[in-house]
């Protein structure tokens, strides 16, 4: 181990680093896994230092004309973490809790995620500190356009490609694409992904993350010699990722015994009818009141005795507090960061097979990549082509990570980080560091 690796926290980007050093900090969660993998890879100190820093952090003030005629000023952030493998790729969130630390952590996460599935993107993330629920559509549109104008120098199909994230959607992506295109003087569809299909979005993008989760879950079951048919599954979160994963795993023959959302959980030992539960949520907005199951809490759901636990809602739900009580054989991390770094060791000790977030939920960014490719080529694929290519990439990536895990006798998370960091590091070595 090099001296640099002994003092990892000295190189954390933010000066107030001591605040990071607790279990639930996203930057710390990501960096402690990064450090472990870097140590195992025996990464040279120069590349280690480069990979531990964001390439570019933009903080910008965004004046917005509010509906009442007053001008308000919001803070926008965009972080490009690493672009050595290609254009930066990462979502934009509108939320009161946006901070530079969190955006930086999420941008780094995107770098490793794109590398683990070997798509030619770097990682970025962005956000605006605002409460979108209190803003009108007109205010949100003006905010989006002015934020886009503020970061336009780094945006572009060859440099930085946003996507939807918390509280942003297809509509917001359409505004970004339009603002950017107005500046360029021609339509540039490939500047964002997650767009409406009518204006250059990809078929299959909406289902991609859940589809990816279902593919790697099947791989994990097969690896452990467990039958997909009849495997019991509990899913936290019944939004895009949770509900699609539930639907696709049920179609494969799994028994979805529990699902939950922000209103609580539902349990049915014999298996829930997922399509029926989705229809209920479509009609009632949440799972609350769904009649064909027993109510349980979100905490109960996490500790059910099931074959597969699929957290698909929030960060930091599996921690040192409940890690010892987790009884699932496999955890498929649909959400970003559902397990704290400190809980990893507990799950390892219990022999739980964890498919880490950077691999498990990479189906979304993979189909975003397909969208970018289709936009640039001006030739659009059928949904079957999208799904087949997604399957190939997810299956191949799972197997590559598994092989590395076996070779180095490490868990899947460490192997996934090793694979992605080594891919990014290799490109840095080949390109040479312009220093």
* Contact status: 241 vs ligand NAD (CB under 6 A): yes
x/- letters, 219..238, toward ligand NAD (CB under 6 A): -----------------xxx
The gap from C-alpha 251 to its chain's centroid, in whole angstroms, comes to: 24
- Describe the crossing of helices 363-377 and 208-223 by its angle, rounded to 10 degrees: 130
Q: What is the DSSP letter of 251?
A: H
Among the listed ranges 66-74, 226-234, 330-338, 384-392, the one in contact with ligand NAD (CB under 6 A) is 330-338
Contact call for residue 173 and ligand NAD (CB under 6 A): no
> Closest separation between CB of residue 232 and ligand NAD, Å?
19
- Angstrom distances, CA of residue 22 to CA of 13, 90, 319, 335, 354: 16, 25, 12, 20, 22
By CB under 6 A, residue 366 contacts ligand NAD: no
Minimum CB separation from ligand NAD for residue 361, in Å?
4
Q: Is 26 in the site for ligand NAD (CB under 6 A)?
A: no
Among 336, 387, 411, 420, binds ligand NAD (CB under 6 A): 336
In 202-329, which ranges are E strands?
A: 232-236, 255-261, 264-267, 294-296, 308-311
**Binding residues among 286-305 for ligand NAD as defined by CB under 6 A:** 298
Q: Which of 125, 350, 384, 409 is catalytic?
A: 125
State which residue, 92 or 410, has the beta carbon closest to ligand NAD. Answer: 92
The mark string for 370-389 relative to ligand NAD (x by CB under 6 A, - otherwise) is --------------------
Strands 308-311 vs 330-332: parallel, antiparallel or unpaired: parallel
Identify which of residues 238 and 398 has a Cβ nearer to ligand NAD in the complex: 238
Q: How far is the CB of 301 from ligand NAD (least distance, A)?
A: 8
82 makes contact with ligand NAD (CB under 6 A): no
Assess whether 125 carries a catalytic annotation: yes
CB 72 within 8 A of CB 64: yes
Q: What are phi and psi of 273, to 5 degrees?
A: -90, 100
Q: Does 323 bind ligand NAD (CB under 6 A)?
A: no
Select the residue whose beta carbon is closest to ligand NAD and give its number. 239
Per CB under 6 A, the list member of 181, 240, 319, 395 interacting with ligand NAD is 240
312 binds ligand NAD (CB under 6 A): yes
In 53-159, DSSP assigns E strands to: 56-65, 71-82, 88-94, 122-129
Q: What CA–CA distance (Å, rounded) separates 22 from 165?
A: 25
SS3 state of residue 373: helix
423/421 Cα distance (integer angstroms): 5
Longest dimension (CA), the chain: 64
φ/ψ of 70, rounded to 5, equals -80, 155
The residues of the shown chain that bind ligand NAD, judged by CB under 6 A, are 209, 236-242, 260-262, 298, 312-314, 334-336, 361, 364
Q: Which residues are catalytic?
A: 125
């Amino acid at each position: 181990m090099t001296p640099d690796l002994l003092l990892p926290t000295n190189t954390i980007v933010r000066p107030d680093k001591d605040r990071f050093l607790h279990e639930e900090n996203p930057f710390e969660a990501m960096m402690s896994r990064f450090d472990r993998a870097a140590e195992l890879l025996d990464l040279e100190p120069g590349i280690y230092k480069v990979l531990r820093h964001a390439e570019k952090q933009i903080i910008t003030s965004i004046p917005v004309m509010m509906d009442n005629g007053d001008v308000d000023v919001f803070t926008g952030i965009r972080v490009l973490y690493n672009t050595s493998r290609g254009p930066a790729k990462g979502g934009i969130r509108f939320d009161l809790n946006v901070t530079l630390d969190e955006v930086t952590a999420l941008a780094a996460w995107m770098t490793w995620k794109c590398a683990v599935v070997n798509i030619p993107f770097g990682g970025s993330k962005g956000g605006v500190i605002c409460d979108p629920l209190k803003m009108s559509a007109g205010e949100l549109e003006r905010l989006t356009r002015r934020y886009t104008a503020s970061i336009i120098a780094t945006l572009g199909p060859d440099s930085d490609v946003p996507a939807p994230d918390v509280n942003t959607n297809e509509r917001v992506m359409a505004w970004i694409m339009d603002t950017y295109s107005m500046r360029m003087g021609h339509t540039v569809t490939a500047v964002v992904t997650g767009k409406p299909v009518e204006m250059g979005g990809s078929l299959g993008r909406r289902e991609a993350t859940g589809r990816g989760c279902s593919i790697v879950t099947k791989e994990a079951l097969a690896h452990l010699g467990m039958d997909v048919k009849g495997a019991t599954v509990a899913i936290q979160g019944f939004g895009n990722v949770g509900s699609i994963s539930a639907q696709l795993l049920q179609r494969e023959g799994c028994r979805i015994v529990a699902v939950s959302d922000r209103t609580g959980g539902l349990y049915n030992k014999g298996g829930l009818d997922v399509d029926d539960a989705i229809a209920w949520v479509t009609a009632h907005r949440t799972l609350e009141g769904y009649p064909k199951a027993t109510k349980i809490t979100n905490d109960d759901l996490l500790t059910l005795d099931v074959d597969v636990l699929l957290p698909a809602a929030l960060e930091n739900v599996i921690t040192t507090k409940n890690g010892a009580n987790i009884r699932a054989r496999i955890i498929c991390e649909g959400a970003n960061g559902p397990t704290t770094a400190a809980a990893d060791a507990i799950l390892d000790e219990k022999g739980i097979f964890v498919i880490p977030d950077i691999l498990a939920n990479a189906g979304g960014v993979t189909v975003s990549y397909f969208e970018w490719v289709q936009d640039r080529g001006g030739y659009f694929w059928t949904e079957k082509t999208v799904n087949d290519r997604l399957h190939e990439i997810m299956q191949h990536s799972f197997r590559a990570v598994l092989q590395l895990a076996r070779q180095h006798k490490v868990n899947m998370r460490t192997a996934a980080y090793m694979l992605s960091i080594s891919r990014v590091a290799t490109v840095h070595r080949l390109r040479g560091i312009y220093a």
